[in-house]
Amino acid sequence: MAVPLFDTSTPLEPIRAEIADAITRVVDGGRFILGPEVAAFEAEFAAYCEAKQAIGVANGTDALTIALRAMGVGPGDDVVVPSYTFYASAEAIPPTGARPVFCDVDPDTGCVTPETVAAALTPHTKAVIAVHLYGNIAPIAEIEALGVPVLEDAAQAAGSRFAAGRPGTLGTAATFSFFPSKNLGCFGDGGAITTNDPEIADRCRMLRFHGSYDKTTFEHVGYNSRLDELQAAILRVQLPELDRWADGRRAAGRAYEEAGLADVVTLPSPAPGASPAWHLYVVRSERADALEAALRDAGVGAKAYYRLPVHRQPAMRELAAGVELPVTDELARTHLAIPMSPVLTAAQAAEVTAAARSVLTSV
């Protein structure tokens, strides 16, 4: 039985007609930019996250740059960011004029910790980007207790829960990506920023709209970065499904545990107090490359997303000169994403586990 790395179409089957109706509604309404669908989605997504405000933007990368600028980050500032993440977490910093300062992560959760952040603080640190990696939850309150504002990069964590609330309200602001394969994905690019701070929200709205309130007077050099009406209408149909899909992701994680996958690889560990909606299910093995090749040969999707961590990417080499991040290097070398989706069955989890067992117990 082939098992795909992810499945974005099966979960949408029961709501295809509703999505088609939503698209027709937008086309018939003739309003495509910053209209009623974006306004309604922003209100509904803010309510879902239990945040005071949500601002729709064009993608999760712009969301980070705009949120950082709205938090006051600019030229001469440093922003602490993990290197074990998708490249965009750091790529979003230089356009603000600030410098990324890379920090290490916890080996078990894959997320930054107060200790790894503290080790990277400089006299110029203006903010920290804490990535909720793979849907796990970084300890935001403990990091803000260091006295530095935190921007949650929640691109991979829609649907996750934490004892203290949902991603989106744990820090000063949070950003989301609605890239199609994300836990809440649209039919193209999309993103959002959430915050409880009305001034930050106001600045985000202005920055996403060319730095203007009225497209007549331009207060700042901003961006043309809006979530569009079609994507917002599609997201509005999907949002009520998100918790059910998140439960499906958690059940898939439990199915791997019950199948005995922990006998042959290290499984991902939820952070204390976290109930992750696994976006990617990432295991660790000293033989990760051999496992990837063998799983693929067996028809099982597998992918090493971050084999070259961000601080070792060509574009970041100058900014990261002399930086040593041993846990990041170790996770980059040993990680492997295996199939995960809201509809992954126990039989599929058993199949993946059997394939992994046969590779890793052979000499």
Ligand X SMILES: Cc1ncc(COP(=O)(O)O)c(C=O)c1O
Residues in the site for ligand X, rule: CB under 6 A? 59-61, 85-86, 88-89, 131, 153, 155-156, 177, 179, 189, 191
Place of tokens 């041993």: 326
Which of 106, 153 has the CB closer to ligand X?
153
CA separation (Å) from 42 to 22, 95, 229?
16, 25, 11
Name the closest residue to ligand X (Cβ): 60
Q: Which of 224, 170, 178 shows the shortest CA–CA distance to 195?
A: 170
Q: Which two tokens stand for residue 322?
A: 């002399």
Q: How near is the Cβ of 73 to ligand X at its closest, in Å? A: 16
CB contact at 8 A, 252 and 340: yes
Which of 56, 60 has the CB closer to ligand X?
60
Burial class (CB in 10 A: 0-12, 13-18, 19+), 244: exposed
Q: How near is the Cβ of 86 to ligand X at its closest, in Å? A: 4
Which of 125, 175 has the CB closer to ligand X?
175
Which of 168, 353 has the CB closer to ligand X?
168
Q: Which two tokens stand for residue 341?
A: 């989706």
Q: How near is the Cβ of 12 to ligand X at its closest, in Å? A: 19
Write the DSSP assignment of 89-128 as a string of letters: HHHTSGGGT-EEEEE---TTT-S--HHHHHTT--TTEEEE
Which of 276, 294 has the CB closer to ligand X?
276
Q: How near is the Cβ of 311 to ligand X at its closest, in Å? A: 15
Which of 177, 334 has the CB closer to ligand X?
177
Q: How near is the Cβ of 298 to ligand X at its closest, in Å? A: 27
The alpha helices in the chain, defined as continuous H runs, are: 16-29, 36-49, 60-70, 88-91, 114-118, 140-144, 198-207, 229-238, 242-258, 288-297, 326-334, 346-360
CA separation (Å) from 133 to 23, 194, 210, 293?
32, 18, 31, 24
Q: How near is the Cβ of 235 to ligand X at its closest, in Å? A: 13
Which of 65, 169 has the CB closer to ligand X?
65
Q: How near is the Cβ of 89 to ligand X at its closest, in Å? A: 5
